[in-house]
Amino acid sequence: TKQYRITLLPGDGIGPEIMAVTVEVLKVVGKQHKIEFAFEEALIGGAAIDATGEPLPAKTLEICRSSDAVLLAAIGGYKWDNLPRQQRPETGLLALRGGLNLFANLRPATILPQLIDASTLKREVVEGVDIMVVRELTGGIYFGQPKGIFETETGEKRGVNTMAYTESEIDRIAKIGFETAQKRRGKLCSVDKANVLDVSQLWRDRVTAMAANYPNVELTHLYVDNAAMQLVRAPKQFDTIVTGNLFGDILSDAAAMLTGSIGMLPSASLGLDGLGVFEPVHGSAPDIAGQDQANPLAQILSAAMMLRYGLNEPEAATKIEQAVIKVLDQGYRTGDIMSAGMKAVGCREMGEVLIKVL
């Protein structure tokens, strides 16, 4: 029996509900694959602010560091929206990414045949879409210095942020981009704004130079505005996309929305030393929190990503992924993906039918 220490960060809104269901699923799969999980819960986001005044207590970071993988649900809510930025839930998330050196964020946008009609795009445009966005997560304008609100000579305020990348920061994420493309369909599209930004020019030069090491990967470049257009115009042209922190934030959300079922999408954030954080793409949905209405499948698929990328347990991961397909085939749907003729279930019941399938 293998043993893993998993940190659970349920966070805010629907977080605790979808996390609870996911833990049950992990226990069942663990038994089947001779894996023992030791779960430890820690505070982040609004829940942490309420309990300790800080969105990421030092203790949480410590617990994460001493574990084998971190499963995060979602953070944030109206309640904390008007606090100063240093005390907001999002700041806790950024501190977690920085604190664990999670420089590589993998965000798949795959369209499931069962849910294709949930897309706002025409069936023929999105059928078969399977995009992986590799987003740099600990650099760029999210962390660049100087930043702040300063007073100018004329006495007016000036807000400032700095978009910066060093060669080594670009190289390490580009490497993940090429390797990811290699394991997929061999196409990598690097997205930047090199016709305007110096930082993008350096980005493009480094990515281009690295292509020589990956002769079996076809590298292309797109400006970010054109990439946003192409995602809408012809998303099937994309396999793997690699891009910086801000562009990745925008494009991965646009790509996720193409599928029409953002409640189904997991993500992985990987660090230097093999420690990863796994979380759904969707947010904390405070409007439906505590009502047993949330879709737990993105969280459950995040647990599958954890098994695959974080713990190197691909069989257990596949087991979960296949079970998710099966419950969809059986017609079970939470409210966000409900359509005519399907069986409406709540969060807990979705977990139960999934465990039955397992």
Closest CA to 171 of 209, 197, 138, 223: 209
Q: Is 205 a catalytic residue?
A: no
**Helical packing angle, 89-99 and 58-65, nearest 10°:** 40
338 binds a copy of itself (CB under 8 A): no
Query: Is residue 262 at the binding interface for a copy of itself, with CB under 8 A as the rule?
Result: yes
| Residue among 12, 68, 192, 249 flagged as catalytic | 249
Q: Report the partner that residue 198 touches, choosing among ligand IPM, a copy of itself, none (CB closer than 5 to 8 A by kind).
A: a copy of itself
For residue 164, the Cα-to-chain-centroid distance in whole angstroms is: 22
| Distance of alpha carbon 230 from alpha carbon 228, whole angstroms | 6
Contact (Cβ atoms closer than 8 angstroms) between residue 91 and residue 53: no
Choose between 206 and 282: whose C-beta lies nearer to ligand IPM.
282
| 8 Å CB contact between 323 and 354 | yes
For residues 228-257, which are near a copy of itself according to CB under 8 A? Answer: 228-229, 231-234, 246, 249-254, 256-257
C-alpha torsion sign, points 44, 355, 353, 297: positive
Q: Is residue 292 part of an annotated ligand binding site? A: yes
Q: Which of 178, 175, 190 is nearest to 221 (CA)?
A: 190
Q: Which is nearer to a copy of itself, 197 or 357 (CB)?
A: 197
Residue 122 binds a copy of itself, judged by CB under 8 A: yes
Residue 294 marked ligand-binding: yes
Contact indicator for 315, 303 with CB cutoff of 8 Å = no
> Of 205 and 225, which CB lies nearer to ligand IPM in the complex structure?
225
Q: Are 132 and 106 in contact (CB under 8 A)?
A: yes
Q: How far is the CB of 257 from ligand IPM (least distance, A)?
A: 13
- Between 209 and 229, CB nearer to ligand IPM: 229
Active site residues: 142, 193, 225, 249, 253
Give residues in contact with a copy of itself (CB under 8 A): 85, 88, 90, 94, 120-122, 125, 141-142, 144, 147-149, 152, 156-168, 193, 195-203, 224-226, 228-229, 231-234, 246, 249-254, 256-258, 262
